[in-house]
Each structure stands twice: as structure tokens, then as C-alpha cells.
Amino acid sequence: MMRQTLLIIALTAAVAIEATALAADTELNLYSARHYQTDEALYSNFTKQTGIKINRIEAKEDELLERIKNEGAMSPADVFITVDAARLAKADALGLFAPLKSKVIDERIPAHLRSNDWVAFSTRARLIVYDKSAIKPESVQNYEDLADPKLRNQVCMRSGAHPYNLSLLASMIAHHGEQKAESWAKGVVANFARAPKGGDTDQIRAVAAGECGVTVSNSYYLARLMRSSKPEDQKVVAAIGVVWPNQSSTGTHINISGGGILKTAPNKEAAKKFLDYLASDEAQLYFADGNNEWPAVPTVKTDNPALNALGSFKADTLPIVELARNATLAQKIYDRVGWK
Ligand code: FE
């Protein structure tokens, strides 16, 4: 009798474990800082192809990171998707990611766009935007020019604490060393037209309004304004000029949006399938186009009217991990030179 009861308990437990294992393959918990209209198709196609249901938790990057940290070993999160190398570096430094082992990703995503733990699925560029009525394009061809005393009281910037500017300075540290990067930052601060405030689009609007002569912005904010049908946005676009910076030297600074599988992921198989899917031709188009970005897989070409209008350019091929590596030092430099 006793033996029979034990057998039944053992069998029940086995069935329960089996059920959990099966359930693990049918769902995926995605913590994402992206939320674009085209993402709906991106996710529903994955479910169609694999039968794996995606549960999405969408919030701001820092909130998601905080949440994963607090959930600890019990976190339901399988995949974390965010923007900017500096933010992925932060997740990495917290030890949140599992090592990424995927033949598909190794074959399809260029090596300079991934680390051992995370991978880029799209790229964006940091462009120079200037007031056509006040600035000659020849004087703002390089990021270095923004520190030139000739541009005194002409430069608008967002906060130095923001990942986009941290990554930009991180690239300069990698190319020119700490000292030169610091004197650049110092020179830019000396050229500020006003104290840093607002996001990239606010900087573009400030340039168009004549509040300042020049700024930098991520390409997709510009593309968004270019594709907007609002008259006030079209007025902004008409007033500004755009430069692909550093075409005769290091190339234009690029950053990424991407993600990785969490160390504590309960559905690791589904997570790997999802990342492989994001590297597929079909998903790459949705992923990049949803935010006016470029696909990370070089053979995939989007047909985005704004990006087409901006034309082609030489991109900096600095490994993205270098940006991540130098992000902390970049913040120290901004603090030292008073780029708040
Ligand atoms: Fe952004």
C-alpha cells in the first residue's frame, strides 16, 4: 500500500515536471524597451512560425533592468531587448545575460555588432544637424568640429548622462584616447548655446528655431520628422542641413538596438529561437523599419523613404563592445568637464 502510494506520488511528480517542460517550449517572456506599430507583425509572425506565444512586458529601459534585478533568480524574463550599447553594457555588467551561442547569429550578424552575451538587430547613426541659415556645412563635417572655438555659443546638446552621448564619447575614447576625448568634451561644453536639456528631437527643433547653430541627433529622429506630414515638422526639416560626420576619417558613429537571453530565463530554447528569428530576413525588415533604422544583417535592405533620402555613408566599424567598455569612463569625463 505504502509502496503504491509512493509510486503514485512519483508518477504525479513526473507528469508535473513533464507538463512544465512542455509549457516552457510554448511561451516566451519578452522584456522590451521597444514599442512600435510594426512590432505587432514581428511578434505574430514568430508565433505563427513556431507556435510559441510571446508575453510582452514593455517599459522604459531602466525600469525593465530594475525589474529583472529585483525579480532575481525567479524572474520570468527570457529575453531583454533595449537600445544603445551603453544600456546593454549595463545589463551585462549586472551579470544578467547568459552567453549567446547561436550559429545563425554568428553567420548573419557581423562580428563588430555583437558581444559574447548580446547582439544587435538594427543600427542607427549619430548625425550632425545644422541651421542652414547660420552655419556653413564645411565647418561642421566632423564631431571634432563641434569643439572648435569658431562655434562658440552655437552648440545645443542633450544631457551628457544620456546613453547616446555616452556612446559617442566612448567611441572617441576608443579612437583617440582619454585625453583627446576629454579635451573634445571640454571644447563642446565651451561652445554650448544653453545648458543641456531635452531629447534629440528637441535639439533638432532648437536648431531649426535658430536657438543654436548645430547639434547631433540619432538618424531615426530625423527620419521621423522627414516622414511626418505635420506642417510644423516639415518647417523644421526645411530649415536644417544634415551631415554624415567623419566621412574622411573614422566614419559616422553608429549605435544599435539589440538584446540577449537572460541567465535566469525559464524558456531558454524559445529564447534562442526568438533571437534566431530576429536575425531572419523577414524579421530584420520589421525590426529595422519599425523605428526607421538599418537592419544589422548586411544583405537585408529596407526601402525606407527617409533613409533613402539621407543616402549612403561610411559607418564607423569600431566593435560595439568598445562603446560598452568605455561608457563608464565617458560618464566620468562628462562629469569632469561639466557636461551635465
Ligand atoms: Fe531614442
pLDDT digits (tens, 9 = 90+) for 137-162: 999 999 999 999 999 999 999 999 99
Q: Ligand 1 center to residue 32 CA distance, Å?
A: 14
pLDDT digits (tens, 9 = 90+) for 42-96: 999 999 999 999 999 999 998 999 999 999 999 999 999 999 888 898 898 899 9
Q: Is the pTM of this model over 0.85?
A: yes
**Element at 322 (helix H, strand E):** helix 320-337
Q: Ligand 1 center to residue 81 CA distance, Å?
A: 14
Q: Ligand 1 center to residue 50 CA distance, Å?
A: 31
For residues 316-325, give the mean pLDDT. 93
Domain match, 176 and 214 both: yes
Cα–Cα distances in angstroms (integers) from residue 239 to residues 131, 157, 158, in the given order: 6, 18, 20
Q: Ligand 1 center to residue 4 CA distance, Å?
A: 62
pLDDT at 67: 96
Domain match, 25 and 143 both: no
Q: Ligand 1 center to residue 219 CA distance, Å?
A: 9
Question: What's the sign of the alpha-carbon dihedral 92, 95, 96, 102?
Answer: positive
Report how far residue 173's alpha carbon sits from residue 183's, in angstroms, rounded to the nearest whole number.
11
pLDDT at 191: 98
Q: Ligand 1 center to residue 123 CA distance, Å?
A: 12
For residues 214-237, give the mean pLDDT. 98
Confidence grade of residue 9 (pLDDT, cut at 50, 70, 90)? low
Report how far residue 333's alpha carbon sits from residue 327's, in angstroms, rounded to the nearest whole number.
10
Answer whether residue 253 shows pLDDT above 70. yes
Domain match, 180 and 59 both: no
Lowest mean pLDDT among 36-40, 121-125, 152-156, 313-317: 36-40
pLDDT digits (tens, 9 = 90+) for 11-31: 555 444 444 444 457 999 999
pLDDT at 15: 46
Q: Ligand 1 center to residue 222 CA distance, Å?
A: 11
Q: Ligand 1 center to residue 201 CA distance, Å?
A: 9
Q: Ligand 1 center to residue 21 CA distance, Å?
A: 38
Cα 208–chain centre separation: 26
Q: What is the DSSP letter of 249?
A: T
Domain match, 157 and 229 both: yes
Bridge partner list, 129: 215, 242
Report how far residue 209's alpha carbon sits from residue 167's, in angstroms, rounded to the nearest whole number.
27
Domain match, 143 and 171 both: yes
For residues 200-206, give the mean pLDDT. 98
Confidence grade of residue 34 (pLDDT, cut at 50, 70, 90)? confident
Q: Ligand 1 center to residue 210 CA distance, Å?
A: 23
Bridge partner list, 97: 262
Q: Is 268 within 8 Å of 98 (Cβ atoms)? A: yes
Q: Ligand 1 center to residue 63 CA distance, Å?
A: 16
Q: Ligand 1 center to residue 22 CA distance, Å?
A: 38
Cα 215–chain centre separation: 20
CATH of the domain at 128: 3.40.190.10
Domain match, 94 and 169 both: no
Q: Ligand 1 center to residue 12 CA distance, Å?
A: 50
Q: Ligand 1 center to residue 34 CA distance, Å?
A: 10
Confidence grade of residue 8 (pLDDT, cut at 50, 70, 90)? low
Report how far residue 24's alpha carbon sits from residue 106's, in angstroms, rounded to the nearest whole number.
25
Domain match, 35 and 107 both: yes
Q: Whose grid coordinates read 508518477?
A: 11
pLDDT at 12: 52
Query: Looking at the 3D structure of the chain, how many domains does it have?
Result: 2
Q: Which domain holds residue 91?
A: 2-121+257-301
Domain match, 249 and 285 both: no
Report how far residue 225's alpha carbon sits from residue 236's, in angstroms, rounded to the nearest whole number.
8
